[in-house]
Structure 1
Amino acid sequence: MRIRVVLAVVAVLAVLLTAGCASAVDGRAFAGPQVSAGLDPQFVRDNDGSDDDRLAAAVLRDLEGWWGEQFPRVADGQRFEPPKGYFSVDSSRPGPPPPCTESTDEVEGNAFYCPRADVIAYDRAALIPVLREEFGDSAVVVVLAHEFGHAVQQRLEDTVATSASLGSGAPTILSEGQADCYAGSFLRAVHDGDTSDLRTGDAGIDAAMSALITFRDPVGTDARDDRAHGNAFDRVSSFQDGYADGAGSCAQMTLTNRSFTQQAFASLSDAQSGGNLPLPDLLRAMGTDLDRFFGALVKAKGGQWTAPTIRQGQDACGQGAVGLCDGGVVQADEALDGIHDGLGDYASGTLLASRYALAALAATGRPTTGPAAGRTALCLAGAYTADVGAPGSDFSLSPGDLDEAVNLLRRSDDAATATDGTVADTTAYARIADFRQGVDGGADRCLALR
């Protein structure tokens, strides 16, 4: 976060991105259970028959079958034609390059769809095995489903009669967001057992989202960049919308009904600090801003508000790194220092906001214990986040803040913990979804969750 002051833009920051769809940045994730799959990859050009190629082949065949059913629903009944070819590339050694490239080096650590040749290529040396090791097999599914989504977009663009086409002038971040949405809708089919060869559980869905989070754009990338894919919040939001609402909802994405939170740094000093405040400064200043938001909310609901006191280096009352303890005191134990230094200041800020949210629930006569209280507190933390920077706020969000919140929620259930230690949201998917409800719908939607 950044304390609101008048800043002069003293430099234009150029962010260099790789050309393909998989440009990894910092961050690791937890591997989910393997997708049960394995198909003869003979239809994939230059494959070596390995388990990695067999998994990729199973994903591609299930994508063909699933889109064969889905495409007519979004394309005015027109039949789906699969891509013209698939290429497995070993980027670790010289060899024949796939279409649309001049050497195998161009595919290193990447996967792409080439509309000119209507083919999908992936690196079996430095992409597929890395995804499997870092996240689990579901990460391979989401990456290839994303690229397949671009093939779907090309077909919709060629189908003049349908309103589902983005059009050739669509900004990159919109087309990438729609591809993430399509990937989410396919992963829902895999999760629900609606595909022939692939299966995964809740942990696999979390692992797929973790891959998207890791492949987010570098913090500070302008959303207007012609290679922008979105920050972690944008990418996960698109994925979850597709997972929850299906491919038809993805096909209707436009700049009119879709907003993106990714932003460039406003100043050189903000970029140099990563938009992060030291923890003591954050605790002092953020308490005032949280008091502003939650005090107004409590008063609007007919309650009496007394701002909590924040104490650092204290036991968190069994609620993780930060707890709302007896006497209305928000206590942060030493674990918060590690979260702050490792994930960023708005990871700490999200935890603080969720504890202030519990104080607001108590002040309006609502329970602070049990699963519903934890969910509501997390949602209200999202509502507060959406209000940061409003008139009267002492803060504005820095470009990396929402990513920091998402990274916290994918790793920890602390922000969804009630005062009795109960946790309702046991998956990263559910935690991020509840947080997003607050960001998108505000406090009233959160209070209606109960």
Structure 2
Amino acid sequence: MGTRQRDVGHTGRVRTRPAATRWVVPLLVLVATSATACTTAIAGQPASSGSVVSNPDPDQPGGGDPSFIENTDGGEIDQLAAAVLSDVRTYWTETFPATFDGQEWEDLTGGYYSVDTASADAPAPPCVDKASDVEGNAFYCPSEDVIAWDRAALLPVLKERFGEAAVMLVLAHEMGHAVQNRAGLTFEERRANPDQFPTILVEAQADCYAGSFVRWVAEGNAHHLSVADDRLDSALESLITFRDPLGTAQTDEGAHGDSFDRISAFQDGYDSGAELCAGISIDNRTFTQRGFTNAQDYELGGNLPFDQLVQAITEDLDTYFEGVVTGQGGEWSSPSLANSEEEPACTDADQGPVAFCAESDEIDLATGGELPELHSDVGDYATGVMLTSRYAMAALDALGLPTDGADAQRRLVCLSGTYTGELLSRADGFTLSPGDLDEAIQMLLRYDYPGRDSAGDAIDTGYDRVSVFRDGTLDGLEACELG
């Protein structure tokens, strides 16, 4: 991020539920036979350790039993896939008629394929020429009505890095494409109307359907699966991995969305259900993903050096939060900046690498500790979102609002979102770069630093932190309930 000209960005959230909208987006053709690959290769080695998050029920055919899967090896990964697919089929058997005007759910006619991409002799599933074409991917192919996945270098690596819930999310996403196909909009119609049905919209709807299924599981309705809050956070992290390459424009033919877009769609489904997902259209959903618009930003990879970022964003934050405070009838006093070594020295409370101290009216950065590492490893908006939340705490203090407790924790994350939304709306000046929103999402999922109050406490789950951040980003100051 930095002082650069940037296209105006918008949100990735459905704000209203259109009445009786019953269409679905057809799928992106990546090969001649219309396979839709929706993931990217995941770095890592296949894993075989750990337990399957399934509880096979002998009264439910296919639950944990992979015998219905073509080319299965009968192993743990396909047992997990079988449990997921059994439950997601049950979900859509129950949900599809209520979502699509009484239409009954029909199971996939072409079946489900496990692909051993580690073997040169492995049989290829329909829609591709050879097994290696599936490496690192899962896809739904509408022409053959099949779902296939890489059991050697995708599902086990997802399980190892993000937990079993990430496997649930990926396979539920692919089933979401099958839902789209059954809901009535053909691939030919999408090709005829590419502006109305861009790929990024198709993928958002599939992510939304996946979210609606995972909520059904979380509520204890599934026969074979369960998911806990901490597993859900890890699964959402996998969507960061599945984001498009940095700088992909939302209008690109194969665009799937940035982390904000994809997690927004998942949370819409999780929070509101399949009916909202079915109503997603180009008319009610816009996206935050953007490409690079100048050479300097491209050369920097969208990241400013630490010192440069701190100077630029603190000047902008001071101006922004002065406007917030005075707009609420308060008086703003610009906090001073201080540097400490391993941890901020102005408070005994653990606010993380950046702290606000009301007594001295200063923001203290621990520049010799974890902060520069996060800046380097996550990106410059990791620093940006932490600084934003500390200026937000200064604003709460200036308004005479509590700086600790549950309300403060929510307001800190929400106000960080309102500032981010302000940057998205700017056409020039200090704005966001491609990847900045992904960095904010990554910080909110993995760390609670941006939401820690003056006592060092924060919203418990990454899911809830991201949800509150989205509220601020999309809905502005009203969402933060400043009084």
What is the TM-score of this pair, normalised by structure 1? 0.91
Q: Deviations over 1:150-189 (max 9, x none)?
A: 0000011259xxxxxx987510000001100111111111
Equivalent position to 2:91, from 50, 62, 66: 66
Quick one: distance in 2 between partners of 1:121 and 1:271?
Answer: 36
Say if 1:33 and 1:136, in contact at 8 Å, map to a contact too: no
Equivalent position to 1:413, from 448, 452, 462: 448
Say if 2:112 and 2:148, in contact at 8 Å, map to a contact too: yes
Equivalent position to 2:297, from 257, 266, 270: 270
Quick one: distance in 2 between partners of 1:251 and 1:214?
Answer: 25
Other-structure match for 2:198: 171
The equivalences for 1:2-401 within 5 A come to 2-4=2-4, 20-24=37-41, 35-38=53-56, 39-84=64-109, 85-93=111-119, 94-158=121-185, 170-313=197-340, 315-316=343-344, 317=347, 318-325=350-357, 326-333=359-366, 334-388=369-423, 394-401=429-436
Quick one: distance in 1 between partners of 2:456 and 2:428?
Answer: 31
Other-structure match for 2:11: none
Quick one: distance in 2 between partners of 1:364 and 1:182?
Answer: 41
Say if 1:33 and 1:204, in contact at 8 Å, map to a contact too: no
Q: CA 1:113 to 1:67, structure 2 compared with 1: closer, same or farther past 3 Å?
A: same
1:388 is paired with a residue of what secondary structure? Answer: helix
2:355 is paired with a residue of what secondary structure? Answer: strand
Q: Deviations over 1:190-230 (max 9, x none)?
A: 11111111111101111211111111111101111111111
2:245 is paired with a residue of what secondary structure? Answer: coil
2:253 is paired with a residue of what secondary structure? Answer: coil
1:261 is paired with a residue of what secondary structure? Answer: coil
Q: Does 1:444 align with 2:462?
A: no
Quick one: distance in 2 between partners of 1:401 and 1:324?
Answer: 23
* Bigger shift: residues 36-45 or 178-187: 36-45
1:371 Cα deviation (Å)?
Answer: 2.2
Which one-letter code corresponds to 2:87 in the other structure? Answer: D
Quick one: distance in 2 between partners of 1:104 and 1:4?
Answer: 45
1:350 Cα deviation (Å)?
Answer: 0.4
Quick one: distance in 2 between partners of 1:27 and 1:102?
Answer: 25
Say if 2:229 and 2:461, in contact at 8 Å, map to a contact too: yes
1:393 Cα deviation (Å)?
Answer: 7.7
Q: Deviations over 1:71-100 (max 9, x none)?
A: 112211110001121011111112221110
Quick one: distance in 2 between partners of 1:6 and 1:132?
Answer: 37
Over the matched positions of the two proteins, sequence identity in percent amounts to 46
1:284 Cα deviation (Å)?
Answer: 1.2
Quick one: distance in 2 between partners of 1:20 and 1:6?
Answer: 30
What is the TM-score of this pair, normalised by structure 2? 0.85
Say if 2:165 and 2:227, in contact at 8 Å, map to a contact too: yes
Length, aligned pairs only = 431
Which one-letter code corresponds to 1:290 in the other structure? Answer: L
2:315 is paired with a residue of what secondary structure? Answer: helix
Say if 2:243 and 2:256, in contact at 8 Å, map to a contact too: yes
* Bigger shift: residues 391-400 or 339-348: 391-400
2:267 is paired with a residue of what secondary structure? Answer: helix
Which one-letter code corresponds to 1:178 in the other structure? Answer: Q
Q: Deviations over 1:269-327 (max 9, x none)?
A: 21121111111111111111111111011001110101111223354332001010132
Quick one: distance in 2 between partners of 1:365 and 1:67?
Answer: 50
Quick one: distance in 1 between partners of 2:441 and 2:354?
Answer: 17
Point out where structure 2 has 5 or more consecutive residues left out of the alignment.
8-29, 57-63, 187-191
Say if 2:405 and 2:453, in contact at 8 Å, map to a contact too: yes
1:40 Cα deviation (Å)?
Answer: 1.1
Q: CA 1:426 to 1:33, structure 2 compared with 1: closer, same or farther past 3 Å?
A: farther
1:268 Cα deviation (Å)?
Answer: 2.6
* Bigger shift: residues 351-360 or 92-101: 92-101
1:35 Cα deviation (Å)?
Answer: 2.1
Equivalent position to 1:428, from 462, 474, 479: 462
Say if 1:26 and 1:214, in contact at 8 Å, map to a contact too: no
What's the RMSD between the two structures over aligned residues?
2.4
Q: CA 1:68 to 1:242, structure 2 compared with 1: closer, same or farther past 3 Å?
A: same
Other-structure match for 1:12: none
1:352 is paired with a residue of what secondary structure? Answer: helix
Q: Which runs of 4+ in 1 moved over 6 A?
A: 25-28
Q: CA 1:24 to 1:292, structure 2 compared with 1: closer, same or farther past 3 Å?
A: farther
1:157 is paired with a residue of what secondary structure? Answer: coil
Which one-letter code corresponds to 1:75 in the other structure? Answer: F
1:37 Cα deviation (Å)?
Answer: 3.9
Q: CA 1:27 to 1:109, structure 2 compared with 1: closer, same or farther past 3 Å?
A: closer
